[in-house]
């Protein structure tokens, strides 16, 4: 319990987001989890862009790490047998996004993070619409 209180004092907003995410993932099915990953991915990239603009390199690094981990998770979850060419296309997209993020991580420009976030947000919106039917 002490760890929770310490984390809460350190960054209450981050603690709330973590609790919210844990709650949503506990109730989510596979497609809902993918949707959550997209949301977290886009959010991490936007925060990385903001951190870059404000020279907050620790936060930038944290969000780049989070974004690349999410991209790895999304790629690992692809079913190439059932998904066919769509799975292969998504794998290429995820790899390209990771490469763009890694390339941008050594720079001082926020725009590459925002571009990747925008591209992935389009896919996230299409995914959400497909889930709604």
pLDDT in tens, the chain (133 residues): 445 444 555 655 554 455 454 444 455 567 888 888 999 999 999 999 999 999 999 999 999 999 999 999 999 999 999 989 999 999 999 999 999 999 999 999 999 999 999 999 998 898 888 878 7
Q: In this predicted structure, what is the pLDDT of residue 34?
A: 87
Q: Which domains does the chain have, with CATH numbers?
A: 29-132 (1.20.120.340)
Q: In this predicted structure, what is the pLDDT of residue 127?
A: 81
Q: In this predicted structure, what is the pLDDT of residue 4?
A: 46
Contact 97, 105 (CB under 8 A): no
Q: In this predicted structure, what is the pLDDT of residue 2?
A: 47
Contact 87, 51 (CB under 8 A): no
Indicate the angle between helix axes 111-132 and 80-105, nearest 10 degrees: 160
């Amino acid at each position: 319990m002490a760890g929770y209180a310490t984390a809460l004092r350190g960054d209450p907003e981050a603690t709330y987001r973590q609790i919210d995410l844990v709650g949503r993932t506990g109730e989510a099915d596979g497609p809902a989890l993918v949707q959550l990953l997209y949301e977290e991915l886009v959010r991490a990239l936007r925060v990385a862009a903001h951190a870059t603009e404000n020279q907050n390199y620790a936060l930038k690094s944290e969000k780049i790490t989070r974004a690349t981990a999410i991209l790895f998770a999304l790629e690992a979850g692809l079913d190439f047998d059932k998904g066919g060419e769509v799975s292969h296309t998504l794998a290429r997209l995820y790899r390209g996004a990771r490469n763009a993020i890694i390339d941008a991580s050594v720079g001082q420009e926020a725009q590459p993070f925002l571009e990747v976030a925008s591209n992935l947000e389009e896919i996230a919106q299409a995914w959400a619409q497909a889930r709604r039917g």
